[in-house]
Structures are given as C-alpha cells and as structure tokens.
Amino acid sequence: MRPAPALLLCAALASTALLTGCGKETAGASASPGATCASLAPLPDPAGRTWDNVRVISGKCGPSGAPSTGFEVTNTDKEPLTFTLTFTLVNGLGEAMDNITRTVEAVKPGQTVRRPLDAADGPGSARSYRARIMKVRAVPADGAGGDCPSSGVRITNDRGDAAMGLRVVGILLENCGAADYRLNGYPALRLLGEDREPVSGVKILRGTTAISTGIGGDAEPRPVTLRPGESARATLAWRNTTTEGDPVNAPYTEVTAKPGAAPVTVTPELDLGTTGRLGVGPWTKTPAAARTGELPGQE
C-alpha cells in the first residue's frame, strides 16, 4: 500500500531531526480548521536567548494551506499585546538566507496566533528553510500602531540613525482622532529592560545638546496643536560608548506624551553602553511635506 502523504512528510522531516511532534495538531485560537502544524526545533539564538512564548512550526500553517515554515506566538500576559518578531531563515547548509520581521497585533491574553513565515516569493516559499528566532518584542496593544487607540493618538518610533557611536531615534506621535490634540514641552520617559521592568542608573536630559549638536533636539519647547491627521516628533539621542561597568540596554521605552496622558510603550532599542545619559528633545510638529512625502516647493 502506498503511504499517505502526511506520513511521507513525517518521515522526511524526522530524517532531518527537525520534528518533535509529527502529525499532531497544535491548538491555536487563530489556526485554520483542520490545519496541522508540527513543532520544529528553532535554531539557537547566537546570544543564547530563548523565547518561551514563540515557537517555530511546520506544515499547512498558512491561510493558503501550502506547506510552509511558520510560527506561533502566545500571549501569557494579562493584557492584549502587539508582538514584533525577527527571524533569520537558514538553509540546509546553515547559511543565513533572509531576515524577516513580522508584527502580530492585539493578541488577547491566553490567545495563540499562528502565522506563516513566507519569504518574498509567496506562500510556501520558506518551507525549505529552518528559522532562527532573533528578537521578540511585545508591547501593550492600545496605543502603539494598529487601529487608532482610544486616546486618539498613536505613538511609535522610527528606525533611527547611527554613526560613530552616536544614536538618534525619533518618537512619533500622530493625532488619529477626531479632535485637536495639544502638546507643550517634553515627553516623559521610563526606560524598560528585556522583561519590561524599569531600568535604573540613566539620567534623562532635557534637550540633546549635551549628547551632540545639530541633530534636531535642541529647540526650546513651544505649544504644539495637532489637528486630526497631523503629527509631532521628539528626538532621542545617546552614545553607546562602553568603558568600565555593565552596559545598559533598554529595548522598551514607556512614553507619556503630556501630563495626564496614558503611557505608551515603544521599542527604540536603547543601547546606552556605560554612558548613563539619554537626551530628549521637545515635541515639534512634523512639517506637512514630511507627512505627505512631498519635497519643499512641490505642488
């Protein structure tokens, strides 16, 4: 008798020592009916970290039903979280072929969400790769990305610039609500470590002049009124110099836009070295040309 296709898949995967539960359906709140996904052993993180709430999976895991390498993320927190996950796809020779970042928004407490890790070539294109989990970031869902939060403002961070040990990142606030939103001064920051617990020993400076000049955070604070659709930016600047002592890394930052506002957690990935200082510029309105992508003088 000819073996069933599922058994052939089991045998093929087991022969490469990738499979730990072949043919066993993995329960997940967002799994497609009848979808079977087996747990793969993810390649180890070079830094030796493990991620308890993210798993690499294989099988007919995606919406297309095509065999694919994928992942599951489980929210073990008590509030909805938005996850940003970074993977490296590795071929059978151990060569890194692609880096992929995936965002899973608003995962409810206790919920497991399953997604494919398809490469640029479409559904199933990652099936011949194994995946290495490189980074996992999880922030409270209300306030950072996705649909307009209940506050009427969305707070994120840009990717920033780095040169010769100087780091500059923008904290971006968009008025996505229906009413004007007023700012005046500096955002209040609380730095958080990998476990989203407060980081101590860092002095937060008003303005960025003490870090470096000409990087956009030196202006005097002024009242800013954002109409619906308008946005503002505050510049963060630091140096990642490391001398004596333990370097400080704060991947998360809790941002309070103004007194009385609810804090929003973003991920500027502050690698502060042993400098112990972070400069923060005031809120400034983003020029219309920057918001629309137009250059000055264009019509």
Q: What is the mean pLDDT of residues 95-120?
A: 86
Cβ contacts of residue 78 below 8 Å, gap of 6+?
109
Task: Select the more confidently predicted residue: 200 or 11.
Answer: 200
Looking at the structure, do residues 279 and 157 belong to the same domain, yes or no? yes
Residue 198: strand, helix, or coil: strand
Looking at the structure, do residues 104 and 158 belong to the same domain, yes or no? no
Looking at the structure, do residues 108 and 234 belong to the same domain, yes or no? no
Task: Select the more confidently predicted residue: 124 or 265.
Answer: 265
Q: Give the pLDDT of residue 47.
A: 79
Looking at the structure, do residues 170 and 107 belong to the same domain, yes or no? no
Domain harbouring 165, CATH code: 2.60.40
Task: Select the more confidently predicted residue: 46 or 36.
Answer: 46
Looking at the structure, do residues 99 and 206 belong to the same domain, yes or no? no
Confidence category of residue 15, pLDDT binned at 50, 70, 90: very low
Could you tell me the CA-to-CA distances from 274 to 145, 240, 243, 249 in Å, in that order?
31, 7, 6, 9
How many domains does the chain fold into? 2
Q: Give the pLDDT of residue 10.
A: 32
Q: Give the pLDDT of residue 59.
A: 60
Confidence category of residue 244, pLDDT binned at 50, 70, 90: confident
Looking at the structure, do residues 132 and 159 belong to the same domain, yes or no? no
Looking at the structure, do residues 59 and 134 belong to the same domain, yes or no? yes
Looking at the structure, do residues 133 and 163 belong to the same domain, yes or no? no
Kindly report, residue by residue over 230-241, the tens digit of the pLDDT. 999 999 999 998
Looking at the structure, do residues 159 and 284 belong to the same domain, yes or no? yes
Q: Measured at the alpha carbon of residue 229, what is the angle toward residues 151 and 206, in degrees to the nearest 5?
A: 70
Question: In terms of Cα–Cα distance, which of 168, 205, 169, 167 is closest to 189?
Answer: 205
Looking at the structure, do residues 228 and 182 belong to the same domain, yes or no? yes
Domain assignment present for 145: no
Domain assignment present for 298: no
Q: What is the mean pLDDT of residues 277-291?
A: 84
Domain assignment present for 299: no
Task: Note the pTM of the prediction, 2 decimals.
Answer: 0.75
Domain assignment present for 185: yes
Looking at the structure, do residues 188 and 85 belong to the same domain, yes or no? no
Q: Give the pLDDT of residue 86.
A: 93
Kindly report, residue by residue over 58-70, the tens digit of the pLDDT. 765 555 554 567 8
Q: Give the pLDDT of residue 49.
A: 80
Looking at the structure, do residues 159 and 283 belong to the same domain, yes or no? yes
Question: What range defines the domain where residue 51 resides?
Answer: 5-140
Domain assignment present for 243: yes
Q: Locate 40 and state its tokens.
A: 């793969």
Confidence category of residue 130, pLDDT binned at 50, 70, 90: confident
Q: What is the mean pLDDT of residues 118-145?
A: 73
Residue 80: strand, helix, or coil: coil
